[in-house]
Amino acid sequence: MKRKLIAAIGIAGMMVSIAACGDSDDKGNGSGGSEAKELTVWLTVDAQNNWPDLVKAADDAVAKKHPGVKIKHEYYGWPDKNTKLDAVLATDKAPDVVEMGNTEMLGYMVKGAFAPLDAAKFDNSSAWLDGLKASVTYEDKTYGVPYYAGGRVGNYRKDVFAAAGVKSAPKTYAELTAALDKVQKKEGNSFNAWYQPTRDWYAAMSFVYDAGGSIAKEEGGQWKANLSSPESVKGLTAYKDVVDKYMHGDKTKDESDRYIVYGQGKSGMIFGAAWEGATAADPKNDKTGKLKDNLENFVMPGPSGKNIPVFLGGSDLAVPVKSGAKDLAAEWINAFTGPAGQKGLMAKGNLPNNKTDLATLKNDPATAVPATAAESNWFVPMAPGWGQVEKAQVLQTMLQSIGTGKKSVEAAAKEADAAIDKVINTK
């Protein structure tokens, strides 16, 4: 999936009216709008461009059960979607179904923008991937339905590794570091055996969770930062070792242009979204002319001896609290994300929202790597003030201090914990 997830941090403008929202705003349709005759569904252009047939199939399923229902679709690009959503949530014209990036959900759930849903009414809800389930859950209530997922994998240049005597993808972390040592020695210090942008907190936190640490923990209804715990420090130290030994580029960069840098041919491997390798090999980005047949994804091993836990990106579907057709909206969501929908989404190259379907992808060589990698996953703390942590770039600042040597791992982690604790419980 060639798009970035947008963090849920820019939602202040919509909140003036949401505090007063409730079921009484149901456009005259009664409890949940079960007899509603109109449904407005907001999706991103991904659905419009890549799987319009799945949208139509969901429409047809709902229309068959509710003859005469009118279903209207509006499609938005990721950069402007939330600005338009925030504006409409301040009126009585809210859509009935809205697609959200899963990192966008929390801020809206905290402010009461979405209606609670009965998870039991949605197919495969008992098997939702852990990271996706976390993204739609706040204070033990469900406010959305996972739609599809995108994971992170390792990707390496077969030609570069082969030239250094490495003939296959590493299966363990010891194999990985041994291979990288060979590549680094052969290519020299102007080459990034592993191009790992220092500020890439998605990658860094994978090391933290692999070591048994976490960003924060909930205790007694309150969240407390956990980056300076022994386990988290161990993970951060392993991450620093990677940056010190194999990353010889600008150590103040983030991951936003990683696929472009990878395409320039000065790197042996990356750890990123599953689409990044293929995008680097696109003729528009491949400055070497060699990447198309030489890039291969692999399941990223962790220092723990297990596959490293990966951040799961993806989309969720939610029902705004001002919707006048909540019941009908839930039916449409289930038709779209149920077994038939998941099968269609997998055929389009997406990961499904549940473990049952994910297991089937492991049997296909074409999908085994991302499916296996996604089995072990993590998600951000579902704390009311998490959006403020992201907005302040606390993790990125910590990682840059560690990667550049400005601060020790322990000192940077303690400083980050202090910054997180100031806001993480604030709504």
Question: b/e per residue, 376-402, with b = 16+ CB within 10 A?
Answer: bbbbbbbbbbbbbbbeebbbbbbbbbb
Rounded distance between C-alpha atoms, residue 227 and residue 204, angstroms: 11
- State whether 205 and 329 are in the same domain: no
- State whether 278 and 404 are in the same domain: yes
**CA-wise closest residue to 1 among 43, 50, 41:** 50
Parallel, antiparallel, or unpaired: how do β-strands 152-157 and 137-138 relate?
Answer: unpaired
pLDDT at residue 32, as a whole number: 55
186 domain-assigned: yes
| Residue length of the chain | 427
Give residue 35's pLDDT band: very low, low, confident or very high (50, 70, 90).
confident
- State whether 61 and 207 are in the same domain: no
Sign of CA dihedral 253, 254, 256, 258: positive
Q: Is the pLDDT of residue 43 over 50?
A: yes
Kindly provide the residue ranges of all beta strands, DSSP E only, lying in 1-61, ordered along the sequence.
Answer: 38-44
**CA-wise closest residue to 81 among 49, 109, 42:** 42
Give residue 422's pLDDT band: very low, low, confident or very high (50, 70, 90).
very high
CB 372 within 8 Å of CB 413: no
Rounded distance between C-alpha atoms, residue 369 and residue 152, angstroms: 10
50 domain-assigned: yes
344 CB-side CA count, 13 A: 18
pLDDT above 70 covers what percent of the chain?
Answer: 92
pLDDT above 90 covers what percent of the chain?
Answer: 88
Rounded distance between C-alpha atoms, residue 100 and residue 81, angstroms: 9
18 domain-assigned: no
Q: Which residue has the higher pLDDT, 92 or 272?
A: 272
Q: Is the pLDDT of residue 200 over 70?
A: yes
Q: Which domain holds residue 254?
A: 153-311+382-422
Mean pLDDT score of the chain, rounded to an integer?
92
- State whether 141 and 278 are in the same domain: no
Give residue 67's pLDDT band: very low, low, confident or very high (50, 70, 90).
very high
pLDDT at residue 259, as a whole number: 97
CB 266 within 8 Å of CB 240: no
178 CB-side CA count, 13 A: 11
Q: What share of the chain is helix, strand, coil (3-state, %, to 5)?
A: 45, 15, 40
Q: Which residue has the higher pLDDT, 20 or 81?
A: 81
216 domain-assigned: yes
DSSP string, 243-262: HHHH--S-TT--STTHHHHH
**How far are the Cα atoms of 13, 36, 327 from residue 142, in angstroms, in the given order?**
24, 23, 15
Rounded distance between C-alpha atoms, residue 349 and residue 59, angstroms: 22
| Residues forming beta bridges with residue 377, ordered by sequence position | 310
- State whether 366 and 392 are in the same domain: no
- State whether 187 and 334 are in the same domain: no
Interacting residues of 426 by C-beta distance below 8 A, sequence separation 6+: 384, 385, 388
- State whether 225 and 186 are in the same domain: yes
Long-range contacts of 19-25 (CB under 8 A, 24+ apart): 19/111, 19/112, 21/89, 21/112, 21/113, 21/321, 21/322, 22/321, 23/115, 23/321, 23/326, 25/92, 25/321, 25/322, 25/324
283 CB-side CA count, 13 A: 0
25 domain-assigned: no
- State whether 256 and 341 are in the same domain: no
**CA-wise closest residue to 249 among 408, 406, 407, 404:** 404
Give residue 301's pLDDT band: very low, low, confident or very high (50, 70, 90).
very high
Give residue 34's pLDDT band: very low, low, confident or very high (50, 70, 90).
low
Other beta carbons within 10 Å of 260:
14
130 domain-assigned: yes
Q: Taking the model in full, what pTM does it have?
A: 0.89
134 domain-assigned: yes
Q: Is the pLDDT of residue 27 over 70?
A: no
Sign of CA dihedral 130, 134, 140, 142: negative
- State whether 413 and 273 are in the same domain: yes
- State whether 388 and 403 are in the same domain: yes
Q: Where are the alpha helices (DSSP H) in 255-315?
A: 258-263, 276-280
The two structure tokens encoding residue 276: 């990044």
Split into its structural domains, the chain has a count of: 2
23 domain-assigned: no
pLDDT at residue 3, as a whole number: 40
Domain of 55, CATH number, reads 3.40.190.10
- State whether 258 and 396 are in the same domain: yes
- State whether 320 and 359 are in the same domain: yes
351-410: pLDDT as tens digits: 999 999 999 999 889 899 999 999 999 999 999 999 999 999 999 999 999 999 999 999
